[in-house]
Amino acid sequence: MYLDDLYVGQKFVSEGYPLDEAQIIAYARQFDPQVFHLDPEAAKHTFFQGLAASGWHTASISMLLVTQSIPLADGVIGGGMEELAWPQPTRPGDVLQVESEIVEIIPSQSKPNRALVRVLSHTKNQRGEVLQRFRPKMVCFKRPA
């Protein structure tokens, strides 16, 4: 897809991504080694009251799902992030799905072959609970002449 194919209000929905305990622990060991991401028993006595995926793990999976569900010809090129929130934790057994909607297309004043596309995305689990809310800005290009 190119910029020419996009419009405000357009929606995209990803496939589901199942997340298990082993994946949560492996990610945490490498990138966010805190007890509530590493130890299911010890995590019961923390703020999360059980094992929870790192928010950055949820964000990484969300990025994968965005790239799979918004098939931009030149790739999903980040132009920034206006908001990133984790209203509730991602748990082992959750199946993540990203729903995205284009909320604004801002043509470049200096480069007429591209625009900044503002998107509102929600990562939800299998119960429809919002685990992550984010507002990325993507650089999108027009179809080559």
Helix, strand, coil content of the chain in percent (nearest 5): 25, 35, 40
Compute the distance between CA of residue 16 and CA of residue 78 in angstroms, rounded to an integer.
22
Query: Which residues have CB under 8 Å from 114's CB, separation 6+?
Result: 3, 108, 139, 140, 141, 142
97-112 tens-digit pLDDT: 999 999 999 999 999 9
The domain in which residue 76 lies consists of 3-141
Residues of the chain with pLDDT under 50: none
Number of domains in the chain: 1
Q: Give the predicted TM-score (pTM) of the model.
A: 0.95
Amino acid, res. 60? S
Compute the distance between CA of residue 122 and CA of residue 3 in angstroms, rounded to an integer.
22
pLDDT of residue 145: 85
Compute the distance between CA of residue 16 and CA of residue 65 in angstroms, rounded to an integer.
8
- Nearest Cα to Cα of residue 140 among 84, 79, 68: 79
Q: What is the CATH number of the domain that holds 20?
A: 3.10.129.10
